[in-house]
Structure 1
């Protein structure tokens, strides 16, 4: 009898230990917080595909193109709390980035049971931050290593994994934009990229304008064809007219009315005409020097990598 009671007691102790072990595991290794820690670890070591494969992770109806491992840069994040309400765990995550700390809340719910004993978890709300991007000057930009575009300058709202850092920029042959860093930590984020002509663009456009005007000054007529200046005189022309610019034009580049296209806004200059003229009254010949003010502007196009100008007005 004592032997039987001993075995029964041992069985009760073992069963209690097993139940206690399951309860401890459910509260630690298989808890909602542990599920979030696994998600954060996947992001921290660059395994974005593993994070995307977790239950409940999707673009939530937004543009999914930022959900790319090349776009996401990890941040320092840690679980700091778990509040359960109506079956949903609101797991609080402290996000440390660039000397600041913000808190993100990830919502997790039980979606099943593992090994008949342990809870299986998934996200009740996808852990993504809406990032709304607008651009000026050009639709194209890059996030990390992912080429993207915001048609017409946007706005376009992308889904970005939370937490994470996203660096948006533009760097092309003729255009550039200062990098804009976005911290995805829940809520919503807006970013604007001001895409502007770079020094190379300014140089080739200035050179193209100079060529246009040099072609005008090379014409030995009072009204150079296709040019913004000319001058009528009352007397007879006694020599070939000669034109020269008194000083280089101040060339600027600005966006045109059509998004993604550029122009040289109207700018003023002075062309000097030198020509011998013969008086219709007494036949005397004198040299005329006359400064002609003019205004010119151009639409900027490209023939391959060559800038092509079309006069405006």
Structure 2
């Protein structure tokens, strides 16, 4: 017995080493499976694909279907811009949902504003016998509706898109940021944005405002119209909003001038730009003759006036049509 004890000890040592090696291998497989093949890995791969602007690959990873919506945000520049500024702060521990499904929370930040969303994945079997394969549960892409009654186009994540009848719906990838705005020489709508998550049905409402250039353009047109009226040598210039009534006879020359031009104010009504009523003051000078005494005296009078004007803005074309009763 004593002669065999070294052999037994050697076998025991070998068995112990083998068990430790197997245990280490099991632990290694567990950690590799969790870190390299866990559901978190799929999420990071998906977000990287979106950041690269590869919309087709992102759709494949998500197993997502595209709803009946505009696809401007699903590829290239529009897609890359949708995750610009995204910071993934934490990919949390998977929460078991049963039926081989888990929900993975993702804490993120866009421009300093933090939020949390979740992705649902399911176990699709083993890879190389030991490693789990996780796939996103199939779903439809979320959508964002852009509303702008006064516009027929907008800027969406740097991409020019159309808004038929002032509205359009766009498909977007989960955990993307959609920013809508509009700017032209005469109209501008400040940026509105939203973060799209897996179950989003968001809306962005653009409210275009008149630019200084548009107000200046309208003001110039109104002044030109009134200045043309002042060129008439009559007490009631035809087609003009001001006139002067008197019982005396008035000799030529009759001279009109604008003492106060109207202030231009624009408002929106049912998606159309409308000019508020235009109010100003005109001054007339001439020589008047009393019909009873024949005495002459200077005529100097100021007449307040009010009129409306129709405004049409079509791209870079602006038309102002005075409406005088």
TM-score for both structures, normalised by structure 1: 0.80
1:233 aligns with 2:246: yes
Counterpart among 54, 65, 73 of residue 83 in structure 2: 73
Structure 1: runs of 5 or more not aligned: 1-8
SS at match of 1:167: strand
Match of 1:168 in 2: 180
| Pairwise CA distance, 1:281 | 2.3
Describe the shift of the 1:174–1:120 C-alpha distance in structure 2 as closer, same or farther (beyond 3 A).
same
Query: Is the aligned partner of 1:35 residue 2:42?
Result: yes
Give yes or no for the alignment of 1:263 onto 2:274: yes
> 1:269 Cα deviation (Å)?
0.7
SS of residue in 2 equivalent to 1:222: coil
- What SS is found at the alignment partner of 1:220? coil
**Following the alignment from structure 2 to structure 1, what is the Cα–Cα distance between the partners of residues 193 and 276?**
32
Structure whose CA Rg is larger: 2
Unaligned runs of 5+ residues in structure 2 are 1-14
Per-residue displacement from partner, 1:203-243 (whole Å, max 9, x unpaired)? 11111111111111111122222221122332323113221
Contact 1:222/1:230 (<8 A) preserved? yes
Instruction: Answer with 191-200 or 127-136: which moved more.
Output: 127-136
2-structure distance, mates of 1:38, 1:65: 22
Is the Cα–Cα contact under 8 Å of residues 127 and 161 in structure 1 kept in the other structure?
A: no
- Is 1:300 the counterpart of 2:311? The answer is yes
Quote the Cα distance in structure 2 between the aligned partners of 1:117 and 1:60: 37
Alpha carbons 1:60, 1:126 under 8 Å: kept: no
So what's the TM-score if we normalise by structure 2? 0.77
| RMSD of aligned residue pairs (Cα, Å) | 3.2
- The alpha-carbon distance between structure 1 residues 144 and 55, as it changes in their structure 2 partners (threshold 3 A), is closer
Mapped to 2, the partners of 1:272 and 1:137 lie a distance apart of 38
- Is the aligned partner of 1:254 residue 2:254? no
Return the offset for 1:145: 1.8
1:174 is displaced (CA, Å) by 1.1
Aligned to 2:12: none
Check the 8 A contact 2:241/2:305 in 1, yes or no: yes
Q: 208, 219, 224: which is aligned to 2:232?
A: 219
Give the one of 251, 271, 276 matched to 2:287.
Answer: 276
Which of the residues 190, 198, 205 maps onto 2:211? 198
User: Structure 1: how far apart are the matches of 2:197 and 2:253?
Assistant: 72
Q: 1:57 to 1:170 in 2, by over 3 A?
A: same
Contact 2:155 2:181 in 1 (8 A): yes
Change (3 A) 1:303 1:193: closer
1:181 aligns with 2:188: no
Distance 1:218 1:258 in 2: 37
Report how many aligned residue pairs link the two structures.
Answer: 297
What SS is found at the alignment partner of 1:66?
A: coil
